[in-house]
Amino acid sequence: MNIYGYARVSSTDQNEDRQLIALHQAGIEDKHIFIDKQSGKDFNRPQYRKLLRKLKAGDLLYIKSIDRLGRNYEEIQVQWRILTKDKRVDICVIDMPLLDTRRGKDLVGTFLSDIVLQVLSFVAENERNNIRQRQAEGIAAARAKGIHLGRPPRPLPANFYITHQMWKKGEITGTAAAKACGMPLSTFRYRAVIYENSRLL
């Protein structure tokens, strides 16, 4: 039997130290710990797929909490069945002792584990949806205040203003104006709208 650990953070700038400490305390060697740094919306993650190929019947997998496995309710249920039923691997969720498939393999124990798994999976997905909603609300609030999000626009070329005037007078085409300013036509039109609106303020 081999003992493995799986850790996940949602982005490269997040820290997985707390998960690693918990996995090390469970006695798992670094070479048996798999870490993904991406969203938990699905299970198409390189290290998780690699772990899945490694796991054999009788192995034990530790994760710190169910949301580290994923944040999609239905897919957590599917992956749990793949791990425990198809691959016959035991799973221990460190933060939730009831989710330890080594214990309570009778009907009552399995029933309780299934209930806890469904509740925690629902909570994990619900939290993901709440995070996305808070992000969307934050972006909308920032835009309402006139805060620009993302990279700042590149400064306009020195010939933009005179080229814009020639284009507005019909002396040159939009394509020719965009080429003279060294930008795609769609960008030229977008910057022209911003420039025209700024003159109205």
Give pLDDT tens digits for 124-156: 566 656 666 766 667 667 667 666 556 666 788
Q: Which amino acid is at 151?
A: R
CA quadruple 167, 172, 175, 180: dihedral sign:
negative
At residue 190 the predicted structure's pLDDT band, cuts being 50, 70 and 90, is confident
Tell me yes or no: is domain 3-135 CATH 3.30.70.2500. no
For the chain, domain boundaries: 3-135, 160-200
Of the ranges 38-42, 86-90, 126-130, 135-139, the best mean pLDDT one? 86-90
**Closest by alpha carbon to 101, among 93, 111, 90, 109?**
90
160-167: which pairs have CB atoms within 8 A and are 24 or more residues apart? Answer: 160/191, 160/195, 161/195, 164/192, 164/195, 167/192
Identify the pLDDT of residue 129.
66
Residue 97: band (very low, low, confident or very high) from pLDDT cuts 50, 70, 90: confident
Residues 41-48 have a mean pLDDT of 86
Q: Which residues are annotated as catalytic? A: 10
User: Cα-flanking dihedrals φ and ψ of residue 92, to 5°?
Assistant: -125, 115
Detail the DSSP E strand segments found in 105-178. Answer: none
pTM of the predicted model as reported, rounded to 2 decimal places? 0.57
Reply yes or no on whether the pLDDT at 176 is more than 90.
yes
